[in-house]
Amino acid sequence: MPTDSPIDRTSYTPFYIQVKDAIQANIVSGNWPKGHQLPGEVELCRMFDVSRTVIRQALKELEYEGLIYRVKGKGTFVDEPKIEQSMAQELTGFYQDMVRRGLIPITKVLKQELTLANELVASRLEIEVGARVIELQRLRGVNSEFISYDTTYLPYDICPDILHVDLTSRSLYGFLEDELGLTIARGHRTLEAVLADDYVAGLLQIEKGAPLILLDSVVYLDDGRPIEYFHSYHRGGRARFEVNLIRVRQ
C-alpha cells in the first residue's frame, strides 16, 4: 500500500487521524480510484502497525466524509465524488440542476396517484385537510446510481395534468412552467441529518442507519400559492449542497 503519510509515533496527531490522512491521500491522488476495494482491517493494522480500534475510527471518519462506503459481507470501497446541488439564490429542481452540471439524471417513479391531504400536507400547501393532492414518490440519481428518495405533493386543482405526465425523463418544474403556464417564484428549504430506516435503506441500497440528508421544502408560485411540498432523503456520502450567501447591510 502506497502511503504518503506513514505513522509518526512522535507526533501529537492521533494515530487514527494519521491513518485517515494516509488513506485519503491515496484516494485524492488517484492511486485508489472510485470503486477500489480497500485492504481489510487486519491488513490495514499490519500496514500501519496500529490496533484495529485505530483503523476502525479512521474508516468511520472517512465514511462519514463520504470518501468510502462499506458493503456488508464484501468490504470497503472508494466512493464516487459527491454530487453538488444548489440550495440558494436559484430555485431549480433536481432534473434541471443535474443537466446544468453536465450530468445525466435518472428517475424511477414509484407512485403517481391522487390522494387526500393529511394535516401536514394540508398545512404546507395551505389547503383543507382532505383536499385532493397528487402524490409522487420517486428515486432520483445520476448515470445508473440512485442517490435520493423523494415524496412530492401538489394541489390537484392547480395542476391535474401532473397525474398523467411521464416524469421519468423530464423536469417537473419544466412541465409546470412550459406546459401549464405556471410561474415558480420562490421556495423555503430546510436540511436535517437523519439515519436511514429499513425502507429507505432498501430503496437506496445502503445499510440501515447510514447517514442521510433530509431536505424539506415548500415551493410557491408568483401569486403566492404553494404549488409543491416535498421531502427528500439524500445519501449522505453522495450529496453535497451548495449555498450562496449575501451580506445584508444594516
Q: How high is the mean pLDDT of the chain?
A: 82
The answer to whether the pTM exceeds 0.85 is: no
What's the gap between Cα 118 and its chain centre? 26
Q: How many CB atoms neighbour CB 247 within 10 A?
A: 5
| pLDDT tens digits, one per residue of 209-240 | 888 888 889 999 999 999 999 999 988 755 55
Please check whether residue 220 is in contact with residue 207, taking contact to mean a CB–CB distance below 8 angstroms. Answer: no
Contacts of residue 225, defined as CB under 8 A and 6 or more positions apart, other chains included, come to: 126, 155, 158
CA distance 180 to 162: 10
Between these two residues, 154 and 210, which has the higher pLDDT value? 154
CATH entry, 83-242, from 3.40.50.720, 3.40.309.10, 3.30.70.260, 3.40.1410.10: 3.40.1410.10
Q: According to CATH, what is the number of the domain 15-78?
A: 1.10.10.10
Nearest alpha-carbon partner for 234 in 205, 199, 204, 207: 204
| pLDDT tens digits, one per residue of 58-104 | 998 888 767 888 887 888 998 866 544 444 444 445 545 554 555 66
- In order of 30, 93, 241, the CA distances from 230 in angstroms are 38, 11, 17
pLDDT score for 235 = 85
| Per-domain boundaries in the chain | 15-78, 83-242
Q: How confident is the model at residue 242 (pLDDT cuts 50, 70, 90)?
A: low
Q: Check if 15-78 and 83-242 are the same fold.
A: no
